[in-house]
Amino acid sequence: MTAAVRTADAVPFSFEIYPPRSDAATAALHETIRHLADAGPRFISVTYGAGGSTGGRSLELVRHIRETTDVEPLAHLTCVGTTYADAARLIREFLDAGITSFLALRGDPPLGATEDDAFLGDLETAAQLVQLIHRVQAERSPYTECPIPGVPGAARVDRRRKAEISVAAFPNGHPRSRHPHEHIDALLAKQAAGATSAITQLFFHADDYLGFVEQSRAAGVVIPILPGIMPIVSPARLRRVLELTGEQLPTGLAAALDAEPTAEGQRAVGIAHAVELAREVVAGGAPGIHLYAFNHHETVLEVLREAGALVPSELEAAR
């Protein structure tokens, strides 16, 4: 595969990955990160298991991105089922590791629990987690000391970077919403709490995103809303994401995937669908594209290349 870099006039793009579950998967993911980073994304986000199920591995992965690439790591954090004290401790741990970009989430309840169950813990919504991140950061010294190389004992004093806090947005509503505007009210609450941008749940039609942005703007949401796009490269992947997200079946895409007899053909359908979606939302004014990478670089980089956001790197082109 040819390495590729961002075209000069491309919209910003970013990727989401999740912590690996084994040593073999870790080595493969580090290779994937290298390829994703080479493409010049604005950030790479790392998911966090609700209830702390991936805690240590998420932190390790954001550290790895920070230490081995020039790309900003963005750490997802969830608050479901934790105490204030534990959530504050977790935030401090990430800030201590030099992470200043977060996606503040409530997290899903454990399987079988309902909204009325006592699963939530001290923080009931993502908006409260946004406030807590700002509060924990405000309690820290406003300055950091960076050693000056070659001058023993000397340090340069810099102002700490303020945390950038993204939040989740749901173009087709949250599957557990109790009324049609609850997802927009929740986004307004997160903005009021200090969120600086939003990333959307995946969606299958550009109008879902564009209509949602229009309604959000009319309701007073001013923060950038980044569309989350997932290339659906097989019927099995489609079934799985519908289960996880509660989104409606996209009948056209499902039929096109089912009609393809080979995995290669299905992959081409999924990539073409994601490329079309990316083109349409960008034409409609999206401030960038956030791609769910599923811990593989080939598919998302192909989407960006076909959408015109990437060109082969000079080094590769010269070969």
Binding site for ligand FAD (CB under 6 A): 47-48, 50, 76, 78, 103, 105-108, 125-127, 168, 174, 176-177, 182-183, 186, 189-190, 199, 201, 228
C-beta of 111: minimal distance to ligand FAD in Å? 12
C-beta of 17: minimal distance to ligand FAD in Å? 10
C-beta of 191: minimal distance to ligand FAD in Å? 11
**107 or 288, CB closer to ligand FAD?**
107
**108 or 280, CB closer to ligand FAD?**
108
C-beta of 183: minimal distance to ligand FAD in Å? 5
For the chain, the three-class secondary structure string (H helix, E strand, C coil) is CCCEEECCCCCCEEEEECCCCCHHHHHHHHHHHHHHHHCCCCEEEECCCHHHCCHHHHHHHHHHHHHHCCCEEEEEEECCCECHHHHHHHHHHHHHCCCCEEEEECCCCCCCCCCCCCCCECCCCHHHHHHHHHHHHHHCCCEEEEECCCCCCCEEEEECCCCEEEEEECCCCCCCCCCCCHHHHHHHHHHHCCCCEEEECCCCCHHHHHHHHHHHHHHCCCCCEECEECCCCCHHHHHHHHHHHCCCCCHHHHHHHHHCCCHHHHHHHHHHHHHHHHHHHHHCCCCCEEEECCCCCHHHHHHHHHCCCEEECHHHHHC
**51 or 267, CB closer to ligand FAD?**
51
Q: Which residues contact 250 (CB under 8 A, 6 or more apart)?
A: 204, 205, 238
**5 or 126, CB closer to ligand FAD?**
126
**193 or 256, CB closer to ligand FAD?**
193
C-beta of 171: minimal distance to ligand FAD in Å? 10
Report yes or no: 303 and 274 within 8 Å, Cβ to Cβ. Answer: yes
C-beta of 62: minimal distance to ligand FAD in Å? 12
C-beta of 45: minimal distance to ligand FAD in Å? 8
**119 or 306, CB closer to ligand FAD?**
119
**182 or 306, CB closer to ligand FAD?**
182
Which residues face 102 on adjacent strands?
A: 75, 165
